[in-house]
Amino acid sequence: MDTLRPFPTLPTTPREFGFYVDGKWQGGRPLFDRASPGHGVPVTRIPKCTTDDLNAAVTAARTAFEDRRWAGLSGAARASVLLRAAEILKRRRAEIAYWETLENGKPISQAMGEIDHSIACFEIGAGAARMLHGDSYNSLGDNLFGMVLREPIGVVGLITPWNFPFLILCERVPFILASGCTLVVKPSEVTSATTLLLAEVLEEAGLPAGVYNVVTGSGRTIGQALTEHPDVDMLSFTGSTAVGRSCVHAAADSNFKKLGLELGGKNPIIVFADADLDDAADAAAFGISFNTGQCCVSSSRLIVERSVAAKFEALVAAKMAKIRVGDPLDPNTQVGAITTTAQNDVILGYIAKGQAEGATLVTGGIVKDLGHGQYIEPTLFSGVTPNMSIATDEIFGPVLCSMPFDTIEEAIALANDTVYGLAASLWTKNIDKALTVTRRVRAGRFWVNCIMAGGPEMPLGGFKQSGWGREAGTYGVEEYTQIKSVHIETGKRDHWIA
């Protein structure tokens, strides 16, 4: 299934999945029916696993790590498995995108692009597996030689969110595997299908049993148990800052496991009057509408130079009005459905709150009625002040808040006026402004005259309450390793005792 018809049909019955532990598919658990947010009909049935299932998965991952069936292989051998996985993903690209779209509600064209990015992650991970290395110190004198070994940290628990179920999974799994670690993955209960499909891909690619395990279920039960598990050496969590904070407490109360956290964002897009305003307006509309704004790095705060603010807001509003909101299975759709009913209510609540706080609704802010599913049109507010909740809170929806500035210092202050620090975008033709703002805005990812650009070669992560650590690229592999200092005496030791 490597191509899709213009309008793929919905499944006639929900597809039933098992969970995956120690290289075997498991069943016999109660099932959770997941309805497509774009169509309102059940599309998948996912197991509600127990903590016993989670414990079995951790045991399988621990056994696979300790017997070195994966960690003991050469980097070249691990790279071969990752490259085979990339080739299988190319073959199954359309199939995986289809199930991603059904469970998540994102446009099928976007899902296809995310599979392409995921393939690149496996290819980059394969290269990183071959390049991972330590260091040596030949500066300790003739009688002592020093080495620094970089070793896999062990069993990694991976908790992924519902907004990018496959993309975020693949921005981590290849790099974790490249390091030699083993995994237990807990996907969001509403978007589990593609995480389970990756188990099929990795098994076919030759990954040894027990190295990749998937246990499905609720965050409160399975996610919490994984976070607290004393035999998990590191936890990677992507999601809200509030849940990330609870992960910190749980890790400290269990075994002081290392944490990798990619959390919330309230990201600025800063536009100077000298920018190409049409390009910047297109980027602003895209940046808040991509994945229906359910994106940690979406640019939700428009900080625009006052002299062009009215003109620029009109440009953005005109762009938003042309965005095609519709059926996620239509390849012409640009904005699909809101993934969960709860999130749909949150977004609509903030739109109402923005109006109540005195902001001006320029465009959008309404539900698009397609007769099925849950859809919100891209929304722009002007007249926003920094103290408004729509300016401070992560809405996680297609809502853009515009605030003017007069000086470069004011632009920097507005950009940094948030507890978050995940991403930022800057638009100017002046290199001095570009370098000054880039250096002073606190964000883990920064785009100049572009937005959401880049690939898996570059590290991902945030400042402040947007997270700890880095994912992807060589930094992402090193994140899942630990350092061992080795000292080798090469001459006769001077005795301490005469």
From 296, 394, 471, 478, active-site residue? 296
Q: Which two tokens stand for residue 408?
A: 């470069």
DSSP letters for 259-286? EEEE----EEEEE-TTS-HHHHHHHHHH
- The vertex-203 CA angle with 197 and 207, nearest 5°, equals 130
Contact 246, 228 (CB under 8 A): no
Strands (E), 319-464: 360-363, 379-382, 399-405, 420-421, 423-427, 445-448, 463-464
Q: DSSP code of 332?
A: T
Residues 6+ apart with CB under 8 A from 360: 381, 382, 383
262 is catalytic: yes
Q: Where are the beta strands (DSSP E) in 203-327?
A: 212-214, 234-238, 258-262, 267-271, 299-305
Phi, psi of 275 (to 5 degrees): -75, 165
Number of helical (H) and strand (E) elements in the chain, helices listed first = 16, 23
What strand order describes the sheet that includes 31-35? Answer: 15-16, 42-47, 31-35
CA distances 242 to 124, 261, 264, 315, 367, Å, are: 32, 11, 9, 35, 28
Sign of dihedral through CA atoms 285, 293, 479, 76?
Answer: negative
- C-alpha to C-alpha distance for 75 and 484, rounded to whole angstroms: 18
Cβ(354)–Cβ(398) below 8 Å: no
Is the Cβ–Cβ distance between 452 and 297 less than 8 Å?
yes
Residue-level length of the chain:
498
Q: Tokens standing for 340?
A: 């969960």
**Cα–Cα distances in Å, from 3 out to 43, 87, 94, 96?**
20, 16, 6, 11
Catalytic-role residue among 262, 305, 394, 471? 262
296 is annotated as an active-site residue = yes
The one-letter code for the residue type at 243 is V
Both structure tokens of 34: 């997941």
Catalytically active residues, by annotation: 262, 296
